[in-house]
């Protein structure tokens, strides 16, 4: 029988491997769209939002305002985003999608959905249910940890 340390090490290894492979996937998708992984992560936020403030983006991506500004500037240069001063509060900057961005984001979302459909097709229905259940448990545990350890 495995010890608690051995079980914890196995879990750590599995999560590390999953995280590493997800990062590789992110880099691949980003490169296929001629973007950086950070730009892809930011653009994915606009799949469900037409506008976001810099503060909201910072919170959602857990990045500094300076880093967000750098990423937004790069995406502005690529004509995918625009930024404007919030007319209600001049201290806030609102980021919006540019006209050519909608089809681009749709293509990005569809590419991710295609990948996930392939993942689901590669496992049995029973394994899918187990996978969903396990990911929901892990997601809940990690979300609770994040909430408890916010600084």
SS3 for the chain, per residue?
A: CCCHHHHHHHHHHHHHHHHHHHHHHHHHHHHHCCCCHHHHHHHHHCCCCCEEEHHHHHHHHCCCHHHHHHHHHHHHHCCCEEEEECCCCCCCEEEEECCCHHHHHHHHHHHHHHHHHHHHHCCCHHHHHHHHHHHHHHHHHHHHHHHHCCC
CA–CA dist 23, 31 (Å, integer):
12
- 87-91 — which CB contacts under 8 Å span 24+ positions? none
Token digits for 149?
Answer: 């350890």
Q: Please give the structure tokens belonging to residue 134.
A: 């396990």
Condensed to tens digits (0 to 9), the pLDDT of residues 16-70 reads: 999 999 889 889 888 988 899 999 999 999 988 889 999 999 999 989 999 999 9
Res 26: pLDDT: 86
Task: Report whether pLDDT(151) > 80.
Answer: no
Assess whether pLDDT exceeds 90 at residue 111.
no
Per CATH, which fold does 4-148 belong to? Arc Repressor Mutant, subunit A (1.10.10)
What's the whole-model pTM score?
0.77
Query: Mean pLDDT across the chain, nearest whole number?
Result: 91
State the Cα–Cα distance between residues 45 and 40, nearest whole angstrom: 9
* Residue 23 to residue 26: CA distance in whole angstroms: 5
What tokens appear for 64 in the block? 């500094």
User: How far from chain centre, in Å, is Cα 59?
Assistant: 12
């Amino acid at each position: 029988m495995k010890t608690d340390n051995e079980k914890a090490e196995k879990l750590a290894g599995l999560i590390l491997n999953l995280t590493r492979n997800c990062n590789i996937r992110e880099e691949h998708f980003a490169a296929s769209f001629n973007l950086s992984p950070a730009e892809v992560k930011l653009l994915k936020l606009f799949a469900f939002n037409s506008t976001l403030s810099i503060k909201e983006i910072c919170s959602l991506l857990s990045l500094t305002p300076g880093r967000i500004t750098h990423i937004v500037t790069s995406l502005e240069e690529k004509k995918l985003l625009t930024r404007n001063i919030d007319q209600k509060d001049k201290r806030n900057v609102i980021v919006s999608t540019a006209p050519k961005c909608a089809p681009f984001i749709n293509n990005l979302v569809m590419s991710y959905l295609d990948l996930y459909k392939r993942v689901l097709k590669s496992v049995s229905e029973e394994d899918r249910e187990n996978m969903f259940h396990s990911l929901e448990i892990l997601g809940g545990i990690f979300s609770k940890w994040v909430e408890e350890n916010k600084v």
